[in-house]
Amino acid sequence: MAQQKLYAGAKLRETRTRLGLTQRAFAEKLGVSLPYLNQMENNNRPVSTGVVLALAQEFGFDVTELSSGDAERMVTDMREALVDPVFADGAPPLADLRLAASNAPALARAFLELHRAYRQTTERLASMDEALDRENNPARPSAWEEVRDFFHYCDNYIDPVDRAAENFARPHGEHRDVVKAAIDTLERSGINLRASGDSLRRFDPDSGTLTISARASGATRSFQILHQLALVTHGKLLDATLDLARFQSEQARQIARIGLANYFAGAALLPYTEFLATAQEVRHDLELLADRFGASIEQVAHRLSTLQRTGAKGIPFYFVRVDQAGTITKRHSATRLQFARYGGACPLWNVHQAFERPGHFLRQLAETPDGVRYLSIARDVSKPGGAFHAPVRRYAIGLGCEVTHASEMVYADDLDVTKPAAFEPIGISCRICERRDCHQRSIPPLERRLTIDPNNRGTLPYRID
């Protein structure tokens, strides 16, 4: 397979601007001519191998950032948006979308914001009752969507919060000591901890009482204690991060604040440097990592997908959580595979089968329509309520990486990753998946002509040309 050329003009311009260099000075340090640099910054030429090496040698630049997932995320999002019937003439060619995402990312984001506003306005008009419960500005994205996109385009890695959590955890050693230190810190702040069978976590600022559910698992209790620690002792850091995000509503800001406190809790429970080293040591065995750090399988899987610190990156993983209806409730990808913004995940992913075999890890070798191959693992993570009449929340998680990293994964043992027939064809969303012969397809794909023959019915009621 031919190596894909690297176009990263926007990232080059961003790097040069951050360094405060003119194009001429930047070109000299990279060892290229001024016209050549100009062509690369405008995506008229791909970034050469010499420039990649110069970036690393001259500026200590993490060259993996040149191929970061931002452009692919935007391409996926634009393809989904362009399926909307409002675009009656069909979508532009994929090459044009990639050019827009890499060369004019601000314009691409503006298009996505415009379509989101249109979609939301349409939904409100279709349901006036729902509209009455929402904010008065129809052009404003929902608070939940805004926060989701904030973490999505930060690569799910928030450096200041991650380092603050690691600095708190580092002096205390094992996870039990980290949690004990958190409790001691809260007590010194005038907060007393007690157990109860009610809410998962409840804090009463008037009495200074933090109540944690006694029915929750040990990993969940630890996480909630560290979450409260973040709110109490690192509030200024969280607020400074939120200020930079510039959310459009106070509701979005408050949701994101909870998300950042959750991030701190996960990063303190699973400190970056130690967790990365241990993950590499045990070849990313989720059960061993969960036992070593006193965390849950879901916490470990999610943390693996956030290991994107510049200069110390882990394996690029995707992480997804789905409910029994197939709805994606958590999603993140540091890989080339990006999830659908709307609707569920591809039904051919093994994550849906995890509900059928609770307590087991399912493995899958999969190939997306662009020819990229992945090793995927899935497991159910049902959450019992702790009492007979309490509801059980049922979820399944999926974690995967490109098959080039398979040797670093214990889950690849005894799988033949060199055999093309071993890889199951999967997609992202039926609306943007171009496979013609998928037996699970629910709707026709984008950019394909259909032939309808009333006298001939195959797996689908149409033929994809």
Is 7's pLDDT higher than 80?
no
Q: What is this structure's pTM?
A: 0.72
Q: Which has more pLDDT, 463 or 217?
A: 217
- Minimum mean pLDDT among 86-90, 273-277, 281-285, 422-426: which range? 86-90
Is 71's pLDDT higher than 80?
no
CA separation for the pair 19, 13 (Å, rounded): 10
CA separation for the pair 108, 118 (Å, rounded): 15
pLDDT of residue 130: 41
Most confident of 22-36, 269-283, 428-442: 269-283
Mean pLDDT of 419-448: 79
- Minimum mean pLDDT among 52-61, 81-90, 233-242: which range? 81-90
Instruction: Name the band, by pLDDT with cuts 50, 70 and 90, for residue 151.
Output: confident
pLDDT of residue 341: 66
Q: Are 195 and 211 in contact (CB under 8 A)?
A: yes
Instruction: Name the band, by pLDDT with cuts 50, 70 and 90, for residue 134.
Output: very low
Mean pLDDT of 222-234: 95
Q: Are 427 and 435 in contact (CB under 8 A)?
A: yes
Mean pLDDT of 145-166: 87
pLDDT of residue 344: 66
Q: Are 315 and 301 in contact (CB under 8 A)?
A: no
pLDDT of residue 204: 92
For 11, what's the count of Cα atoms within 13 Å in the CB-facing half-sphere? 21
The greatest distance separating any two alpha carbons of the chain, rounded to the nearest whole angstrom, comes to 78
> To the nearest whole percent, how much of the chain has pLDDT over 90?
40
CA 406 to chain centre: 20
CA separation for the pair 110, 272 (Å, rounded): 34
Query: Exposure pattern of 187-217 as b/e (b: 16+ CB <10 Å)?
Result: eeeebeeeeeeeeebebeeeeeebbbbebbe
How do residues 185-221 score in pLDDT, each as one tens digit?
999 999 999 988 678 899 999 999 999 988 888 899 9
CA separation for the pair 179, 269 (Å, rounded): 8
Calculate the dihedral angle through the C-alpha atoms of 412, 415, 420, 423, rounding to the nearest 10 degrees: -70
Most confident of 43-57, 223-237, 239-253: 223-237
Q: Are 376 and 368 in contact (CB under 8 A)?
A: no
Mean pLDDT of 59-67: 68
Instruction: Name the band, by pLDDT with cuts 50, 70 and 90, for residue 304.
Output: very high
Mean pLDDT of 267-275: 96
Return the closest-CA partner of residue 12 out of 3, 310, 4, 30.
30
Is 324's pLDDT higher than 60?
yes
Q: Crossing angle for the helix pair 34-41 and 23-30, nearest 10 degrees?
A: 100
How far from 327 is each of 22, 114, 395, 396, CA to CA, in Å? 48, 24, 10, 11
Q: Are 355 and 381 in contact (CB under 8 A)?
A: no
How far from 359 is each of 283, 379, 409, 424, 453, CA to CA, in Å? 20, 7, 19, 23, 46
Mean pLDDT of 316-333: 88
Three-state DSSP string of the chain = CCCCCCCCHHHHHHHHHHHCCCHHHHHHHHCCCHHHHHHHHCCCCCCCHHHHHHHHHHHCCCHHHHHCCHHHHHHHHHHHHCCCCCCCCCCCCHHHHHHHHHHCHHHHHHHHHHHHHHHHHHHHHHCHHHHHCCCCCCCCCCHHHHHHHHHHHCCCCCHHHHHHHHHHHHHHCCHHHHHHHHHHHHHHCCCEEEEECCCCEEEECCCCEEEEECCCCHHHHHHHHHHHHHHHHCHHHHHHHHHHHCCCCHHHHHHHHHHHHHHHHHHHHCCHHHHHHHHHHCCCCHHHHHHHHCCCHHHHHHHHCCCCCCCCCCCCEEEEEEECCCEEEEEEECCCCCCCCCCECCCCCHHHHHHHCCCCCEEEEEECCCCCEEEEEEEECCECCCCCCCCCECEEEEEEEEHHHHHHCHHHCCCCCCCHHHCEECCCCCCCCCCCCCCCCCCCCCCCCEECCCCCCCCCCCEEC
